Amino acid sequence: MKRWLQSVLLVVCCCLFLWAADFWNQKPYTEWKWHEINKMLGSSPWAVQQGFGERRTLSEESARQQEEVSREPLTKGVNEDVEVPSIVARQYFIRLQSAAPIRMALAQRAVLEGRLSQEQAADYVEIHPATGYIVVAVLVPRTQDRAELNLVGTEYLKSRAYLRLKKSKKRIYLEAYSSPAEMGGWEAYLYFPRYSGEDDLFQLEEEEFTFVCEFSSETRLSRRFNLSRMIFHGDLEI
């Protein structure tokens, strides 16, 4: 009996885990709660993090403060993944801004904070930042200096920022860059072409791609994105 009960509980836990992991495919973004928004923007198939420097533990109070300062305006995103138990000296948050689920999370956050109506949020979700491009947003916490993101430009990054496909090993180099100062917020935008002629470069057969960006000799971002996990309502969404 005990073994049977343990098996049932294991199956239930697995189902709950899978459901929680794929909430973006289970219910409309207008029903997403705070913890789901934070997960989407901080640690999801479309959002990753990279830190540099010594890691230190957050106390309960500092974790609470980190959550409070994370709630920035729609165009000024910072760290929303407040469940991380520790922080590093320098932290970078990398999001696929061209992916609809990211825009949905930002829009729903603004609705919950009373800064947008549901109609305005829907309009924001529908506006693609640059059709035909993979748009990567790089953000830093509000307490971290953004100077290095403002000191570089398109020409500097053209040979230092690219998306590397796993199977074909193709490198798709940066076409344009907008700094936080230019955007008037906390995030930089990097634009990579999605198509070669009429061919979509990003196919499931590639399995994954790696975002690489060297802002300086001390800051080289390198994070992988799994294409098979980016299925949103039946389609590859990046």
Q: Does the residue 4 lie in any domain?
A: no
Give residue 164's domain range: 21-236
**Residue 146 above 80 pLDDT?**
yes
Q: How far apart are CA 184 and CA 75, in angstroms?
A: 8
Q: How far apart are CA 78 and CA 61, in angstroms?
A: 19
66, 87 in Cβ contact below 8 A?
Answer: yes
The distance in angstroms from the start CA to the end CA of the chain is 47
Q: Does the residue 76 lie in any domain?
A: yes
* pLDDT grade for 134, boundaries at 50, 70 and 90: very high
**pLDDT score of 102:** 98
**pLDDT score of 186:** 85
- Tokens encoding 83: 């469940």
Lowest mean pLDDT among 9-13, 121-125, 232-236: 9-13
Q: Does the residue 6 lie in any domain?
A: no
Q: Does the residue 112 lie in any domain?
A: yes
Neighbours of 193 (CB within 10 A): 16
**pLDDT score of 142:** 87
**pLDDT score of 143:** 87
Q: What percent of the chain lies above the pLDDT cut of 90?
A: 71
230, 99 in Cβ contact below 8 A?
Answer: yes
Lowest mean pLDDT among 18-32, 51-65, 161-175: 51-65
Q: What is the pLDDT of residues 61-94, one digit of tens each?
A: 344 444 443 444 454 444 444 344 455 689 999 9
- Tokens encoding 148: 């290095």
Q: Does the residue 14 lie in any domain?
A: no
Q: How far apart are CA 192 and CA 2, in angstroms?
A: 55
Q: Where are the beta strands (DSSP E) in 127-175?
A: 133-139, 161-165, 171-173
Average pLDDT over residues 119-136: 96
Q: What is the pLDDT of residues 170-209, one digit of tens each?
A: 999 999 999 999 998 889 999 999 999 999 999 999 999 9
Q: Is the dihedral of CA 100, 103, 105, 111 positive or negative?
A: negative
**pLDDT score of 88:** 64
Q: Does the residue 5 lie in any domain?
A: no
144, 92 in Cβ contact below 8 A?
Answer: no
Domains identified in the chain, total number: 1
Q: Does the residue 102 lie in any domain?
A: yes
Q: Does the residue 10 lie in any domain?
A: no
**pLDDT score of 19:** 44
**pLDDT score of 157:** 98
Query: What φ, ψ does residue 236 adopt, rounded to 5°?
Result: -70, 120
Rounded to two decimals, the pTM is 0.80
Burial class (CB in 10 A: 0-12, 13-18, 19+), 213: buried
